[in-house]
Amino acid sequence: MLNHIWLWMIVLSILIAGGSDLVHEISSKPRAQTEQTAHRNLNKDTKIGQVTSAAIDAASLAVKISFGLIGVMALWLGVMRVAEEAGMIRILARIVQPITTRLFPTIPKDHPAIGAMIMNIAANMLGLSNAATPLGLKAMEELDKLNTNKEEASNDMITFLVINTSAITLVPATAIAIRASLGSTNPQKIVIPSIIAASMATLVGITTVKLIQYYQQKRKNKQTNS
Amino acid sequence: MDSLKIILDWLSILAIPLILFLFLGYGYYKKVKVYEAFVEGAKEGFDVGVKIIPFLVAMLVAIAMFRASGALDVLTYILSPITRLIGMPSEVLPMALMRPLSGSGSIGVMTELMKTHGPDSLIGFMASTMFGSTETTFYVVAVYFGAINIRNTRYALPAGLLADAAGLITAVYVCRLLF
C-alpha cells in the first residue's frame, strides 16, 4: 500500500509541476520571455525547479530531525530501562489490563509493550510530544519482539499506530498558542471540539483495524480448512 | 473552563519531573543500579536515531515534492465539490489535506486561515480544531515503523488516514454545531 502511495506522490508532483510549467511557458507572451530569459533563475521561477529544491532540502531535513531525536530518545530509553528493571512497567501494564486485553488480545497480560504503549498514549494526551515519540518507539520495539514476521507490521503494531495517530490531546497547546497570538477572544474554545473530533477518529480507527483483522483471520481460517 | 486549563497546564509541566522522580526513585527503592541501568538503556537512543533516517528521508522527500508541485491545489480543486456536500467550506480543505502530511505545513495553513478569516470565525475554529484533533500520520508511520526496520506496513497507512478523515469531518460538524 505504502509502495503505491509513495510512488504516486512523487510521480504526480513531477507531472503536475512539469505540466503547469509547460502551460505557463506556452501562455506567456513571447516578447516578455526573451527579455527575461537572461535573468531567470530556473530553480526558483519554475515549479519543477521548486520541486527539485524541495526534495533536496527535505532529504537533509530528515537527517536533522533524526539526529535531533537522539538526545531525547536516549533520555527516555534510559528512564524506561530503570523503570523496567524495577518492575514499574509491569505494574502499569496490570492497571490498564481490562482495556488492553481487548485491544491487544495476543500480547501477554503484563508484557513491557503494554506499559510502554500506555506511557506513550498518556504523554500524547498531556501534549508532551518530546516524551511521546521516544516512548512510542520503545513500545514498537517491544511489539517487534512479539512479531513473528520481522519484515511485516503485526496487527498489534497497526492497532497501536492508529490509536497513536488519532491521539486524543487534552490540551492542543500549539493550536491554542497560535490562536492567542492572533488575538482570539477565547483561544481555549477549541479544547472540547478537538477532544470530540479526536475521539471520533480513534473510534473509527479502532473499528477499521479490528474489522480488517477479523476478516483476515476469517480468510486464513477458510484457507486452512479447505 | 479557565480553571480546567490551569489544572491541565500545571499537569503537563509537572508530568515529566514527576515521572522522573517516581520511576528513578522507585528503581532506587527496588535496589536497581539506577545509573548503570539508565546508561544501558540510553545507549539504544543513537541506534534508533540512525535507523529511522532512510525511512524519514523517503517520506519527507515525497511529501516535500508533493507540496512544492502544487498538487495540493489540484486535489483541492477536484475534491471541493464533494467536501461542499458535507458542509466543509472549501477554504479549510487545504488544511484537511495538509494535516496528515506535514506538521509544520499545517501550522502554516492554519495560521494563514486564521489571519485572513480571524481566529474566532467559523473557518478559524474549524482549522484549529482540525489541527488539535489529528496527528501527522505519514510522519508517524515512517518513524515508528522505521525504528524497528519494518518496510511492509500493510494496512497501517490507509487505516490511519481513514481515522484522520473521520476526525476531520467530525471537526467540521462539531464546529458547525457549536459556533
Digits of tens for pLDDT over chain B (179 positions)? 567 667 777 877 788 898 899 999 999 999 999 999 999 999 989 999 999 999 999 999 999 999 999 999 999 999 999 988 988 999 999 999 999 999 989 999 999 999 999 999 999 999 999 998 899 999 999 999 999 999 999 999 999 999 999 999 999 999 999 87
Q: Which residues of A touch B70 (CB under 8 A)?
A: 16-17, 20, 47
Domains: count for chain B: 2
Q: What is the pTM of this model?
A: 0.91
Considering the domain architecture, whether residues B139 and B59 belong to the same structural domain is answered as yes
Range with the lowest mean pLDDT among A22-36, A94-108, A199-213, B63-77? A22-36
Angle value at C-alpha A72, between A66 and A73, nearest 5 degrees: 70
From residue B36, alpha-carbon distances to A27, B19, B24, B27, B122 in Å are 69, 19, 12, 12, 54
The C-alpha cell that represents A157 in the structure block: 503494531
Option in B41, B57, B140 nearest A80 (CB): B41
Mean pLDDT of A61-74: 92
Give the three-state DSSP class for B1.
coil
A 138-177 → B contacts, CB under 8 A? 140-141, 143-144, 150-153, 157-158, 161-162, 164-167, 169-176
Considering the domain architecture, whether residues B131 and B109 belong to the same structural domain is answered as yes
Chain B contact probe: residue of A90, A130, A135, A137 with most B CBs at under 10 A: A137
Domain that holds residue B162: 51-178
CB neighbours of residue A28 within 10 Å? 11
Option in A1, A79, A167 nearest B23 (CB): A79
Identity at B134, one-letter amino acid code: T
The C-alpha cell that represents A43 in the structure block: 530553480
Considering the domain architecture, whether residues B155 and B88 belong to the same structural domain is answered as yes
Considering the domain architecture, whether residues B83 and B29 belong to the same structural domain is answered as no
User: How far does Cα A113 stand from its chain's mean position?
Assistant: 19
Measured CA to CA, the distance from residue B28 to residue B36 in angstroms comes to 11
Q: What are phi and psi of B52, to 5 degrees?
A: -80, -10
Considering the domain architecture, whether residues B36 and B71 belong to the same structural domain is answered as no
Measured CA to CA, the distance from residue A71 to residue A55 in angstroms comes to 26
pLDDT at A31: 57
Element (H, E) at B116: helix B103-117
Identity at B58, one-letter amino acid code: A
From residue A44, alpha-carbon distances to A24, A36, A80 in Å are 14, 14, 47
A 25-44 → B contacts, CB under 8 A? none
- In terms of Cα–Cα distance, which of B48, B67, B82, B81 is closest to A71? B48
> B156 vs A194: CB contact, 8 Å cut-off?
no
Measured CA to CA, the distance from residue B127 to residue B106 in angstroms comes to 9
Residue B91, min C-alpha distance to chain A (Å)? 17
Identity at A40, one-letter amino acid code: R
Considering the domain architecture, whether residues B62 and B107 belong to the same structural domain is answered as yes
> B62 vs A10: CB contact, 8 Å cut-off?
yes
Measured CA to CA, the distance from residue A141 to residue A156 in angstroms comes to 12
Considering the domain architecture, whether residues B101 and B38 belong to the same structural domain is answered as no
The answer to whether B131 touches A172, Cβ cutoff 8 Å, is: yes
In the block, which residue shows the cell 529511522?
B52
Considering the domain architecture, whether residues B72 and B128 belong to the same structural domain is answered as yes
Q: Which residues of B touch A85 (CB under 8 A)?
A: 27, 30, 32, 37
Chain A contact probe: residue of B34, B128, B161 with most A CBs at under 10 A: B128
Considering the domain architecture, whether residues B115 and B72 belong to the same structural domain is answered as yes
Q: Which residues of B touch A72 (CB under 8 A)?
A: 45
Measured CA to CA, the distance from residue A129 to residue B7 in angstroms comes to 19
Considering the domain architecture, whether residues B28 and B108 belong to the same structural domain is answered as no
Residue of A nearest to B65 (CA): A51
- In terms of Cα–Cα distance, which of B102, B130, B100 is closest to B114? B130
Residue of A nearest to B73 (CA): A16
The C-alpha cell that represents A154 in the structure block: 503485526
Measured CA to CA, the distance from residue B171 to residue B125 in angstroms comes to 9
Considering the domain architecture, whether residues B13 and B33 belong to the same structural domain is answered as yes
The answer to whether A77 touches B44, Cβ cutoff 8 Å, is: yes
Mean pLDDT of A42-63: 91
Considering the domain architecture, whether residues B23 and B67 belong to the same structural domain is answered as no
> Does the pLDDT value for residue A75 go beyond 90?
yes
Beta bridge partners of A152: B152
